[in-house]
Every structure is written in structure tokens, then in C-alpha cells.
Amino acid sequence: IAPGGTAALVTVAVPNNLRFRMIGIGFGADDEVALQFLTWAILLNGDAVSSGYTNVASAVGSIRNLAEIFQNVGSSSTVVIQATVSAISAVTYRYICRVRGWFYLEKEV
């Protein structure tokens, strides 16, 4: 991602009739110094979510050791982890992101 740029790192399409529960997130880069320039947000169907996951520093987890996160998403939605790199970054970096979660079906009993 170039300095001042934005990119989608992960996209999860939630199938019809299922829900998605995200429980972990982590970030990495070819050069770990690059992480100081990265902030991220969770977008739901293209809009920022209201649960406080906007403009978050990337120091919340690594690819190996995910940070805990709590995000529930309804069916037929698209979840995007969007990365933004600070304009003061000297060069373009390659970033990676990993999320963990599951799809589930809610049934009344």
C-alpha cells in the first residue's frame, strides 16, 4: 500500500441464512517497521461499523497471535478489513491480515 493509500486486506462474504462471528484479528508486514504507519477499520457493506473498529492502530495482534475482537455480522453481508497507511510513510509496504471466526445458524427452540 502506497503512503496515504487505502486497501482492502480481507473480505468475508456472509452467506444467506447464516451469521458470522469474528473473534480474532492480526496484522503483519514484510518489514515490521511498516506496522507503525498502518491503521485499520472494519467495514460492513461498505460502511464503517458502529462498534468502535475505525482508525485502529495495527499493534493489536500478529499473524501468529491474534488479538481478541468481538464482531457479529448478520446474513447476506460483506465484511471488509480496510487498511490505511499514513502519508508520512517513506515507501510502499506490503501488509497482511488474518481474521478468525465462524459462520453459524440461529435456530429457535
pLDDT at 109: 77
- Is residue 20 within 8 A of residue 94, CB to CB? The reply is no
Q: Residue 10 has which C-alpha cell?
A: 480481507
Distance CA 50, CA 98 (A): 21
List the one residue out of 89, 27, 21, 86 whose CA is nearest residue 60. 27
Distance CA 11, CA 77 (A): 11
Instruction: Provide the residue-wise pLDDT of the chain in tens; the chain has 109 residues.
Output: 999 999 999 999 999 999 999 999 999 999 989 999 999 999 999 887 767 888 898 878 899 999 999 999 999 999 999 999 999 998 999 999 999 999 999 888 7
Q: Residue 24 has which C-alpha cell?
A: 480474532
- Is residue 10 within 8 A of residue 81, CB to CB? The reply is yes
pLDDT at 50: 62
Distance CA 29, CA 38 (A): 10
